[in-house]
Amino acid sequence: MKRDISLWQLGGFSFTALAGTLLHFLYDLTGESVLAAPFSGVNESTWEHMKLLYFPLLIFALIQSRFFKERKGFWCIKLIGTVIGLAFIPMLFYTYNGAIGKSPDWVNITIFFISAAIAFLAEAHLLRNSFTCKAPRIALVLILLIGALFVVFTFKTPQLPLFEDPITGTYGI
């Protein structure tokens, strides 16, 4: 079982890394399609980079859930992994930029990969141990609510630093 979990999590990390990278360019590749905007990066803000992690995590969780039906705490574990991964992107980005200054693109890419890896490592730890939760449906609803926020904030973007494109100074689309 432990080996299976490791393989699942490695596959999930690989899927997330590849899909997140593709989503980074999807909006531009589709000619700034309004249909691609909710799921892809529409600018270089920290929020948009968090979106690039969220949607691949969600898609992989939906696939993985078919094979982890007997795991009662599955959706709680996925919620925890998602929140941890999403939290690490701004934590690492703002810590690096605060300490060093403007980060080059390779640092931003590395932050994305590190955040994805931490999410899957946290999930693997919880999957291997007897983590259970009493409200898996609420966990799934919260995961989906996070996704709804990504979609809404793509079009109705709060005027906060997290949402500001550092290159153009704009917000959202």
Q: How far apart are CA 136 and CA 76, in angstroms?
A: 6
Phi, psi (degrees; rounded to nearest 5) at 77: -65, -45
> How far is the CA of 75 from the CAs of 8, 80, 117, 140, in angstroms?
15, 9, 18, 6
Q: Is residue 66 part of a domain?
A: yes
**Is 81 among the domain residues?**
yes
Within a domain: 10: yes
**Has residue 86 been placed in a domain?**
yes
CB 81 within 8 A of CB 119: yes
pLDDT digits (tens, 9 = 90+) for 153-168: 999 999 999 999 988 9
pLDDT tens, residue order, the chain (173 aa): 556 989 999 999 999 999 999 999 999 999 999 999 999 999 999 999 999 999 999 999 999 999 987 777 899 999 999 999 999 999 999 898 778 877 777 888 899 999 999 999 999 999 988 777 888 899 999 999 999 999 999 999 999 999 999 889 999 88
In a domain, residue 168? The reply is: no
Q: For the chain, what is the domain count? A: 1
Are 147 and 54 in contact by the 8 Å Cβ rule? The answer is yes
The distance of Cα 151 from the centroid of its chain, to the nearest Å, equals 13
138: containing domain: 2-163
Q: Is residue 169 part of a domain?
A: no
pLDDT score at 101:
77
59 lies in some domain: yes
